[in-house]
Chain A
Amino acid sequence: MNLHAIRAIYRFEMARTGRTLMQSIASPVLSTSLYFIVFGAAIGSRMGEVDGVHYGAFIIPGLIMLTLLTESISNASFGIYLPKWSGTIYELLSAPVSWIEVVIGYVGAAATKSVILGLLILVTARFFVAYEIAHPFWMVGFLALTAVTFSLFGFIIGIWADGFEKLQVIPLMIVTPLTFLGGSFYSINMLPPLWQKIALFNPVVYLVSGFRWSFYGVSDVNAALSFGMTCAFLAVCLFAVWWIFRTGYKLRN
């Protein structure tokens, strides 16, 4: 294991985050604050409780997930796309590193940033609504697991993409709709029965549901199932990355 390489990549990526601190930290925090003001304070005050939780508090886990998914994907995909685009990837390809070290470095940095962001939003939420966390250990667990999984997914997108548009298309066209339809702002029990069934095909439902359970002890689907589904997606992504480096897909001619 080339630990020096992992450290070098991780530091490099964290430094990149540091240089763009404003857009990488401030803007998600700001936009989530706006959600809290609009949905939590303004509209939420006129809404009833959902699953016994005040609406403003109910949306916190979903909002964090929303940011976590989009930020993990965009960070990790950009992190690996940038050297591909600028040509500096030659160094990574000619270095004595295996895919494991590359992934730990890039995905680790992207996930770290997402977790920090998630926690920041959690703190920000405190200014708008009161909430408690029933299972803090599982809360952090879901946060980290989701950050890692979706950073890995973003990493794959970054390798696959051969233009800036492609980099945007999956987060925009697939992830954002899935997140909005995944019960970030409502319980899927509020949907008509048919849509409840369809919603179960949406992986984000499991993420949001599991995460919400760690806060309030209530969930749309079983928390263990949520955990299992997230792990399964992580395994699929790991396999894809392993395959990419084995075949050199889009990396080595």
Chain B
Amino acid sequence: MRNAYLDQFPDEARVIKAAFWSSFIALAIGGVLGLVQALHRTDVFRFIQSPDYYTVLTAHGVLLVIVFTIFFLVGTFTWAVTTSLDRGVVDTRFTWAWYIMMVIGAALAGITIFSGFLESAPSILGSELNADVLFTFYAPLEAHPFFYIGLVVFVVGSWLAGVDWFRTWLAWRRENPDERIPLPTFMVLTTTLFWYICTLGVSLSILVFLLPWSLGITESVNPLLTRTMFWYFGHAVVYFWLMPAYLMWYTMLPKFSGGKLFSDPLARVVFVLFLLLSTPLGIHHQYLDPGIAEGYKFIAMTNTMFLLLPSLLTAFTVVASMEHGARQRGGEGYLGWLKALPWRDPIFTGMALAGLMFAAAGFSGMINAGMNINYLVHNTWWVVGHFHLTVGTAVALTFMAASYWFIPQLTGKELWNRSVALGQVVLWFIGMTFMTNAMHRSGLFGLPRRTAEPQYQGFDFEPAVGTVGEINMQVALGAVILTLSLALFLLNMVMTSIGSNSESIPDNTYADTLSGAEDSPRILDNLKLWTAIAVVLVIIAYTLPLASIIDAGGLFGPDIEGFRLSTWVDPAVIESLSEVIR
């Protein structure tokens, strides 16, 4: 008897599959836009106008780091909860409801962004439909109300998804009053809790300040306040993307390596640390902001450094579990066991390469976190190099590798081509190497991020090493390889989905542990306690900075109106103006 996820939970499988396809669509569009950006900036091939570059970049950011990642996350988490509790969700109609809500939110935000390409965008609710504000939407740059509404609807959808997981867990708890929370569910619940804490900031920022202001109900905003509220959410969200990848590394990678997870208790400690520390450090994105005293930046820096701990622990556990797996498969020697790992398997290899890139990202991340060194690299391409290693590889590549496991589980069809899949993950690794190496290097000599034409009239960049031209070629080459890899991934997904049913799908299980939950103190499962501590830490880190920002600039700022830059001035006028300035 086949015992794939589809056979266990056919209804849930359908929702999860829908969530994954939503995320693949976002990945496909976002990835192609990434290629457009890479070729445009480096002046290898330009076919859009430079002002439209920022529309492209807004779409790339929102589609990839909001839509792609979070749709994949809700799919993974729903799978993790139902698989590890061995019961379905309480009511699949509710599951469909939050999924559809997220789709509506994403579509609304997406349409608003893409309408920025139109020669004359339609006017709705008294203003033109567009949102050239990038995914950080810093006021006083102003987007159409639909953009903000879309984001809020999407986030509320994800809140309801969290409700769904909690409900399912509580239902299980009634049936199993004395059992420990299974590890995958524990991971889902702790992640959901910090998601609630951090999204509160951005939702309030939108609902109280940005949306009314964009609708013309309020007149002014305090840009530093909305910016700080964004980053209150903005760092935790990076862990939100990362947690499904961690979940896969902890609960699936050991299995794919042929062994067991090294330690369940330590995995719980790691997730508790993320719950505690993900939010009270957002100010580390504002080291360069005026209006925030150095002391608060210092607290954020210290918290950031301590958050290295769970990632270092993860590195240990994952490598130890892989070694255990390899030895089970007959591997020997100090490093010889590496040869015994299943490198032929795209799921294993993809995740292992993703983990490796994440380690590299750890190094550049420590530079970013250093309050003083950050001055050299802040908002340069260094940072873009850094997060293409983290979210663009550690997360995205793990998700793609995981899809090679999930899609057969959800459809009951065998993966179309394993060799193509292996080539695909390796190509992503190679493409990212080229692209991010060049990005990091160019950041060191000050090449700015988020810039359509980083070619200036009055000065040239002076790379310590190599030439700007060579760096540009390396970025373009990397981007082309990545796009090819992306195409192969999508091809494999489509071909698998239209393939025919197979009986030889592996059972839906996750990794066993060497040291199980019974070895960990019960207090680790006390979610109320950890949430309370997390809230206290947030209050400590944020009350004073927020109070001083409000004290200085007022809740609504000193009469700061919005700038809809793309409808603000006639571009032709500006073009001739900048011609004159030159």
A associates with B: no
Binding site for B on A (CB under 8 A): none
Binding site for A on B (CB under 8 A): none
